Structure 1
Amino acid sequence: MATNQQPNNQANNNEEEVDLGSLFVIIGRGFSKFFNFIGNIFKGIFHFFILILIFLRSNFLKIAIAAVIGFTVGLFLEVKKENTFGSTLLVEPNFESARQLYNNVNFYNDLVKQKDTSRIQNIFQIDKKSAGSLKKFEIEPIKNKSDIINSYDDFIKSVDTTTVKSYKFEDYKNSFEELDYKLHEITVIATKNDVFDKLSNVILESVTENKYFNRIKELTNENLNRTDSLLRQNLGQVDSLRRVYLQVMVEEAKKQSNGTSIDLGGEKRTTKELELFETNRKLNSELRSIVENKSKKYEVINVISDFQPIGYEIKGVTKNLGFQLAIVLSVLVILILLVLKLNTYLNTYKK
């Protein structure tokens, strides 16, 4: 029996060794294929890069000629065109008035595109030359990640726990629109450098004179003033109570110094003193928040930075027509050459 079991055990060990050997071979092949795959990707990228260099070297003269022609024409147009100036207005809209502000600025820009000088004159109360000098109105948010975080924090505080669990930060971030940012920048471009200071009042009043926003502003400020008054009253009452407890503690200390050992609930009184201190701290914190809100919500739109009276000149390499046309013509020639090369390849492929 022992003799029969020994060959069987040896056979089982040999089978296990064969299975393990096969497993390692399979794993080795898998790693080999994986690294070959990665290597082929890098080879493909390198090959594509070489093809681009060969293409550019073969057609360098054509591309260079197109760039020179574009630069020359663009430089001629750049000399002929009028100088342009820009100025920016930085604002903080309240009461969800940003949408109305965006609509109004886009409306002014449409008037500029349509060259409706007479209507621009009437809206901004400026002369015809100044109205004709306006070339562009645009508005965009100052994107700040902290705006999203603070807004989400306010959202969490205003809803129940169940809603918070079902609405994650990433979902909130994806739903955050440009209008939801706090600060927004209005930029005006014109061919005159002294027209900007006449624009800001009209742009702002187109929103601030809205009856709906004014009503919300009045109600909000009434509530803030009422809360401010109530908090100050509560703070005064807490301070009075603290003074009373302080006097009691002084009297208690005098009695103890005279040899009296009557305990009037000192431990409870100390607890009450700590509670009053905490209440005082919370009331002060809420009062600071109310004061901050009052300063921010006092107007429909807060002006952080007004238009500069004299605009800055818009210039630079990327703004130069010579540079722009050189790039455009070069890209155009490259596209044409690629199309011709593709057409040649397709004709050859058919054969």
Structure 2
Amino acid sequence: MSTNSNTPNNSEEVDLGQLFKLIGTIFDRFFNFILRIFKNLFLAFVWVILLVKKRIIILTLATISGLIIGALSKKTVAAKYESSVTVVQNYPTGENLYNSVGYYNDLLKQKDFETLGIVLNLDLERTKSILTFDVEPVVSDNEKLLAFNKYVKQLDSLAATKIEYEDFLDNNEDHTHKYQQIRIESSERNSFKSVFENIVKSINLNPFFLNEQRKDIVELNNTKEALELALDKSESLQDTYKRVLEQGLDADETSKTSEIGITFEGSSETDKTKEYDLYQSDLELRSQLVQIERDLLDKQYIVEMISNKQDSGSASTTNTLFGIELNTTLFLGVLALLVAMAVLFGIEFLKFIEKFNKKTNN
């Protein structure tokens, strides 16, 4: 009897022991896997250091050669000049602007300078000097964060919790930002102010945006008239209220009615509160009227230029490498170093493959 009762307990102890042993084995394998990764990374780092030490002369010569070529290229390679302008979009014209810039670049790639000159109202000589067009948003990290907060507030609480800032930036198109910078790179120092003006003019004359502008101005003017009428009535009501209060001071304590039949009841504190409410209403109407005036000024232009930089072009002496701007000399020096390292790594890798094949065949 006792033997039979002890049998299940022994079985449970064995099962628990096997379970703990299995868990321990899993953790051992996991930590060994992580350890092997770090070990291999360390060995790879040591291998790179040893390779650089072994080939330091070759890498140094490659870097010096790149720096020398970069220094000489400043004197031999034709200079490039940049002109830029910043525009503000009062309407969502960004996609149209980016498409226009893409169209101009396509004409340059096709060497269709005649068509480009006609579109931009530019003579053939200056048109041929243009190397490329570019447009990019002028926006700070703080403005991106404000845009994200504004976007999240428009969503319901459930959807807002699923939106991450990085995902918002990835899905946010560059052309949606209000401020944009248009840049022209050319081979000659020419004034492209007229080109920028023509680009902006082509958007300002777009029929769709002209129609939207007309509707907005009509709506704003109607709102302005309604606010002015409401403000006049508010001022009239304040004057009437003041007369009633003045008459109430001379009238009998129980008389609360003015000649126009308006009845005021309550204490003097209530009267003060009503007077304050009328004053606040007047301020709010005036504030709305000021905002309408500002909106009307903004809607005068669909897109407008707010700053011109280097109308005649400034010499471009920088190149971009991995998102970092470097001068030509340093750029070619770093590029030569990276190319030399890539070649050396490739040679070492091929040697490793040959050794591996020999071991496999043996």
8 Å contact from structure 1 (residues 63, 334) kept in 2: yes
Match of 1:333 among 330, 337, 340: 340
Matches of 1:42 and 1:253, distance apart in 2: 90
Instruction: Determine the structure 2 residue equivalent to 1:170.
Output: 163
8 Å contact from structure 2 (residues 81, 189) kept in 1: yes
Q: How much has 1:333 moved relative to structure 2?
A: 1.9
Which residues of 2 match residues 188-203 of structure 1 at below 5 A? 188-203=184-199
Q: Does 1:225 align with 2:221?
A: yes
Residue by residue, what CA displacement relative to the aligned partner does 1:297-349 show, whole Å, maximum 9, x if unpaired?
22111222135433222225855444333323322221121122122222323
Instruction: Determine the structure 2 residue equivalent to 1:52.
Output: 48
How many aligned residue pairs are there?
A: 329
Unaligned runs of 5+ in 2: 1-23, 257-263, 320-324
Which residues of 2 match residues 262-281 of structure 1 at below 5 A? 264-267=264-267, 269-281=271-283
Secondary structure (helix, strand or coil) at the match of 1:126 reads coil
Matches of 1:164 and 1:328, distance apart in 2: 50
Q: Does 1:100 align with 2:96?
A: yes
Secondary structure (helix, strand or coil) at the match of 1:72 reads helix
Match of 2:134 among 113, 135, 138: 138
Secondary structure (helix, strand or coil) at the match of 2:188 reads coil
- Over 3 Å counting, the alpha-carbon distance change for 1:247 and 1:55 in structure 2 is farther
8 Å contact from structure 2 (residues 84, 311) kept in 1: no
Matches of 1:44 and 1:291, distance apart in 2: 68
Matches of 1:128 and 1:319, distance apart in 2: 33
Instruction: Determine the structure 1 residue equivalent to 2:311.
Output: 309
8 Å contact from structure 2 (residues 67, 330) kept in 1: yes
Matches of 1:92 and 1:279, distance apart in 2: 34
| Aligned-CA RMSD value | 3.8
Tell me the amino acid that sits aligned with residue 302 of structure 2: V
Matches of 1:282 and 1:33, distance apart in 2: 70
Instruction: Determine the structure 1 residue equivalent to 2:147.
Output: 148
Matches of 1:129 and 1:278, distance apart in 2: 63
Matches of 2:219 and 2:229, distance apart in 1: 15
Secondary structure (helix, strand or coil) at the match of 1:306 reads strand
Instruction: Determine the structure 2 residue equivalent to 1:67.
Output: 63
More strand by share: 2
Which residues of 2 match residues 177-216 of structure 1 at below 5 A? 177-216=173-212
Q: How much has 1:55 moved relative to structure 2?
A: 1.8
Residue by residue, what CA displacement relative to the aligned partner does 1:180-206 show, whole Å, maximum 9, x if unpaired?
111111011123333211212211122
Q: How much has 1:137 moved relative to structure 2?
A: 0.7
Tell me the amino acid that sits aligned with residue 119 of structure 1: T
Match of 1:290 among 267, 285, 292: 292
- Over 3 Å counting, the alpha-carbon distance change for 1:325 and 1:307 in structure 2 is closer
* Segment of structure 1 superposing worse, 109-118 or 30-39: 30-39
Q: What is the TM-score with the length of structure 1 in the denominator?
A: 0.77
8 Å contact from structure 1 (residues 245, 269) kept in 2: no
Matches of 1:196 and 1:64, distance apart in 2: 43
Identical amino acids, percent of aligned pairs: 23
Matches of 1:39 and 1:286, distance apart in 2: 67
8 Å contact from structure 2 (residues 317, 328) kept in 1: no
Q: How much has 1:38 moved relative to structure 2?
A: 7.9
Tell me the amino acid that sits aligned with residue 351 of structure 2: T
8 Å contact from structure 1 (residues 200, 306) kept in 2: no
- Over 3 Å counting, the alpha-carbon distance change for 1:176 and 1:96 in structure 2 is same
Residue by residue, what CA displacement relative to the aligned partner does 1:76-127 show, whole Å, maximum 9, x if unpaired?
3331122222121111223321111111112112222333322232223333
* Segment of structure 1 superposing worse, 168-177 or 327-336: 168-177
8 Å contact from structure 1 (residues 197, 308) kept in 2: no
